[in-house]
Chains A and B, each alone.
Chain A
Amino acid sequence: MRAKGKGNSPAAMWRDGGRNVRLSMCLMGLGQLCYGQIGKGLLYLAVLALAAAYFVGRGFEDLIGLFTLGTQEANTWLGIEGDNSVIMLLMGLLAVAAAAFLGLCWSANVRDAYETQKRCERGGRPARFQEDFKALLDRKFYKTVLFLPILGVCVFHILPIVFMIAIAFTNYGGSIVPPKLVDWVGFDNFIQIATLSRFAPTFGRILLWNLVWAVVSTGLNYFAGLGLALLLNKDCVKGKAFWRAFPMLAYAVPGFITLLGFKFMFSYGGPINGIITGMGGRAVGFLDIDAKWIARAIGFAVNAWISVPSIMLLATGILANRDFSQMEAARIDGANAFQQFRHITLPFVLFSTTPVLISQFIGNFNNFGIFFFLRGGLYIDGYFLASDTDLLINWLYNLSINNNYYSIGATISLVIFLITSLLSLLIYTRSTSYREEDTFR
């Protein structure tokens, strides 16, 4: 089942390859035809013809458009239908993808011809069309299966990400939206958010708060969840399933219901204010415009309410796999409960949950829901289109979806990606689970 190893470099194949392999290199499918594999050869030729038609028809234009992003601005007075830069960008990227796909087909075609040659040298004969087809259900089953998922991920994950990265280097957004022409601006957007502009101060403040938020809430949730699991794991606790059911309840309620519910709870007309006014106090604006730290604290609490149960469930599962003989030995040697926890349980749990910790950290860093629901749509003085509880991702949303600052938004998402990936790489490579175990089987 193992694919043919290395040593199949194009140069090597050209050297070792016979006439047919070289023919395949020159024209896709030709080598197959010469081997008498009519069906396959025609298929390759058909792909080539389609690709050629596409590139002649519009592909080359799209590729050029990727660089110019349009040259003719629309003018309704003169009746000129101008170029739409954004669509040109998208189509240009698609053309690049098409070219890459063609390259892949071409290399597959050469490799196929080469394999056929090897097979003939060993005294076999070229595979017939049905045999190739059958191989897709057997030896090459993985190709059949992975085709759709990879296509889907390419179109709906990679294309948007590449598109977004491209936009970060243009001036798309603000007043410059089609029909106006968009242009490449290099690193201008990065310079804008880092230095003097209306974006810079807001970016600094939000980034700082975002880091504080991610670290504190991850730590809080993690240790609260672990503590809860340890508590439930105690011998004196009977009916563990009963106690566990309550956090499970919180885990099972869909997140937006929880968040909207808490928003109602802390609103002016909500029950908490109802009790305060009932006791003769004045209603408190828990999530109001001047409630900076109160709102942040509520954010931490609500996030804990949502995330602690899942960590507890996870930790419970991991604690069950502990090596109990080690604990026993430590106890006999006179270690107290805290020492056992500090030196045996904690390292073990940390080891097993490093990936979870990382994904929790990233999840919290980009926790869109919490403040979107609790304080969505609030703009505060001193912040450009954001509030003092907004995380970068909320700001990104405000900027790009609500206010059309697309290129700045894309730049911020790149910055977010850089921060999260660097941090998680750092945590990951320093963690024990990376050093002692290869993650991929």
Chain B
Amino acid sequence: MKNRKVAKAIDAVLTHLVLIAVCFVFLFPCLWLILASFSKSGSIYSFEGFFPSAYSLDTFRTLFTDTEMYNYPRWFGNTLFIAGMSCLIGSLLVILTAYTMSRFQFRGKKFLMKTTLVLGMFPSFMGMIAVYIIMTQFGLINRMCGLILIYSAGAPMGYLTQKGFFDTISASIDEAARMDGATNFQIFFKINLPLSMPIIVYTAISSFTFPWSDFILPKLLLKEKDLYTVAVGLMSLGDTEFARFAAGSVFIGVPIVILYFALSRFFVSGMAAGAVKG
């Protein structure tokens, strides 16, 4: 009996040691970046080991005032606009698609589902050359609305998580409403939509964060410096601009992190639902 207690204690200590190590691994790079953004000199060469030798808010000030070479406020505005619009249109399309796929039986539904599954196997990046050429033809290069179009149009492909959620809302409510003479349109807007707040929040956040942190499409389609998003802009920073990079990253990273933590509940359940339903 005593042996088991000792074994248990050793086990607990070991577990916590591993956990502390893991947490250190995850925390350290973030901490490094945050502290670097407050460095006084702004150059990575003046650091003592990992951390700056002196701290100040100067980097953030230059980030927003010294906009001649690197127009961070402009990038930020662009990103916000693109992500916001894509989120709005994309979420609407996803929710509607998922709801329909969950509630309606119709000819070609299985075909649609299988097609999306196969299409999902083409990584979105692979058609990029073609997208690039098509966008040139449509005259949507260097236009933010081109990006918004692509993001929103691609959104319904990821409807499975949301479909999983709608599958869990009992269809008997719908039946009752239909008895009372409601049309499918009314059933969706007056009954199911109010019941689906969690999944709407999840959808909105995830369709906001993807354009917010995507770099491939904007790099491909937005060639003018004035149209850069934050991701492309930060990528264009030179090696010597480390503190500016850190400050820029912290400024857009922190809101996203807070958002994730505040809504982590939805994310875990949403991901799990998507996983089980495949």
Q: Which residues of A contact B (CB under 8 A)?
A: 1-3, 86-87, 90, 134, 137-139, 141-142, 145-146, 148-150, 152-153, 155-161, 163-164, 167, 228, 231-232, 234, 236-237, 243, 245-258, 260-262, 264-265, 267, 269-271, 274-275, 278, 305, 309-310, 313-314, 316-318, 352-356, 362, 366, 368-369, 373, 393, 396-397, 400-401, 406, 409-410, 413, 416-417, 420-421, 424, 433, 439-441
Contact = CB atoms under 8 A, between A and B. Distances in A.
Nearest to B231: A256
Contacts of B188: 141
A163 B100 contact: no
A337 B188 CA distance: 48
Contact of A314 (B216, B235, B252, B275): B275
Nearest to B260: A252
Contacts of B213: 254-257
B200 interface: no
B224 interface: no
B87 interface: no
Main secondary structure of the interface of B (DSSP, over half): helix
A73 to B, nearest CB: 20
Interface in B92-108: 93, 96-97, 99-100, 104-107
Contact of A250 (B12, B26, B156, B267): B26
A161 B121 contact: no
Contacts of A278: 49
A264 B12 CA distance: 37
A70 to B, nearest CB: 15
A159 B271 contact: no
Contacts of B100: 141-142, 145-146
Nearest to A278: B49
B129 A245 contact: no
A228 B26 CA distance: 12
Contacts of B119: 153, 157-158, 161
A160 B130 contact: yes
A393 B125 contact: yes
Range class of the B interface residue count: 35 or more
Given A237-B16, A252-B253, A256-B234, 14 more contacts: A90-B137, A156-B149, A161-B122, A253-B257, A257-B33, A260-B245, A261-B29, A270-B44, A275-B49, A278-B49, A313-B267, A396-B126, A397-B125, A441-B167
A160 B134 contact: yes
8 tightest Cβ-Cβ pairs between the two chains A and B: A152-B153, A160-B127, A254-B213, A160-B130, A317-B272, A355-B278, A252-B260, A149-B156
B175 to A, nearest CB: 11
Contacts of A397: 125
Contacts of B197: none
Nearest to A321: B272
A251 to B, nearest CB: 7
Interface in B127-153: 127-134, 137, 149-150, 152-153
B64 interface: no
B179 to A, nearest CB: 14
Nearest to B264: A248
A280 to B, nearest CB: 14
Nearest to B185: A137
A141 B99 CA distance: 11
